[in-house]
Amino acid sequence: MQQYLTLSELQRLVKATLDEHFASPLWVSAEIAEIKVNYSGHCYMELVEKGGDNGVPTAQARAVIWRSAYPRIAACFEAETGQRLAAGIRILAKVAVSYHELYGFSLRITEIDAAYTLGDMERQRQETIARLRQDGVWDMNREIPIPLPVQRVAVVSSANAAGYRDFCKELEKSPYRIEHRLFDAFMQGAAAEESIIEALCAAADAGEAFDAAVIIRGGGSASDLNCFNAYRLCSYVAQFPLPVLTGIGHDKDTSVADMVAHTALKTPTAVAVWLVERAAEADAQLATAAQQLHDATVAMIRSHELALQRLQGEAAQSSRGLPARLAARLDQLAAHLPDAAKSFLARQGERLAAAEELVGSRSPQRILRLGFAVVRSEGRAVVSAREVRPGQRLEIEVADGRFTAEVK
């Protein structure tokens, strides 16, 4: 009969082998995929290792921090890194390998090296910066002109966030009307990056309705800042079609999203104040322009008044000598009038005599005296031989009288 092991025997062998080879704790690096602290105070994690550019897990294991150690480990980690243990963080943990016949393989964490996490986060941050520069989008959003003032903004935030409420309150106190529309998103946690990207896409679809986009969140732990260093989200911010203002709520740290945004401010309230100040600047410029227009108009009117007064003075001065000049001119014309009249009448007499001579030369009586005659038939002048017939009586007029004749 073939030899075999029972399942429990196999598991005992696996446990014995693991206990033998991993008797001492080991330092293991991994990413926290899930983390949960249950009612008993124990912290349970799902650790993964991802490979390649697609981020698919290549290894996975359960881990636990017992309640006797968790408060100390969590407090030390937060004190050194400024963030809580959370999903998405890479850690270097000192672990004891254990195997249970019912619960399988697991790791018991006894220490976490916070310095490793800080270094890994900075490495990821620098990688994101390098990729954005390589893509040529690093300065893209900052090069977009922003209007003065910004009157319509798309706000990417959480409706329940205190930072969003602070932002709205600050705008409500302003004497200026700045319209804003919320695009709701998760601003922390594992789903934050994807949620913010979806909100940005929705805002971009209505881009013509807005002058700028605002990304705000109200404080929180530094671990919540991780998504704002992620390459994908930062690439969206850098290439967003509208100027992006950020108020992520960290005084100490500047995220990559802050670096690629058009204008980075520390808090949501600071973003609102910036918008109000920009509106006030536009108002001041309009007031200055209006005053300059008023001054220019007054100066132009005054200039024309002075010019008119000057012309009136010149006209008055000119009019004082006008009667004397007109009288002298009339006297001059009166002296020349008799001679001019005689000359005109002489020329007209000559023209009349010439016309009389011309009319006389063309008189019918003068033509008849030259030997010509006028032939009429029945009162009509005969101008052609074809117009008469034999036996027709004609009346003939000559210079000294008239007589009749009959055509043969």
Q: How many percent of the chain have pLDDT more than 70?
A: 91
Please say whether the beta carbons of 397 and 376 come within 8 A: yes
**Other CB atoms within 10 Å distance of the CB of residue 67:** 13
Domain boundaries, given as residue ranges, for the chain: 7-112, 127-280, 348-408
String of b and e for 285-301 (b: at least 16 CB within 10 Å)? eeeeeeeeeeeeeeeee
Average pLDDT of the chain is 86
Tell me what pLDDT residue 110 has: 95
Q: Is the model's pLDDT at 219 over the cut of 70?
A: no
375: which strand partners?
A: 396
257, 263, 269: which is closest to 232 by C-alpha?
Answer: 257
- Ranked by mean pLDDT, the top range of 275-279, 337-341, 363-367, 368-372 is 275-279
What is the per-residue pLDDT across 80-139, written as a single tens digit (0 to 9) for each? 887 789 888 889 999 999 998 888 899 999 999 998 888 888 888 889 999 999 999 999
What is the per-residue pLDDT across 377-393, written as a single tens digit (0 to 9) for each? 777 877 777 777 887 78
40, 43, 91, 84: which is closest to 65 by C-alpha?
Answer: 43
Global pTM value: 0.59
Please say whether the beta carbons of 363 and 333 come within 8 A: no
Give the residue, 65 or 15, on which the prediction is more confident.
65
58, 85, 51: which is closest to 69 by C-alpha?
Answer: 85
- Ranked by mean pLDDT, the top range of 8-17, 303-312, 356-365 is 8-17
Tell me what pLDDT residue 358 has: 66
CATH topology of domain 7-112: OB fold (Dihydrolipoamide Acetyltransferase, E2P) (2.40.50)
User: What class, spelled out in words, does domain 127-280 have in CATH?
Assistant: alpha beta
78: which strand partners?
A: none
Give, in degrees to the nearest 5, the angle at Cα 13 between 7 and 14.
90
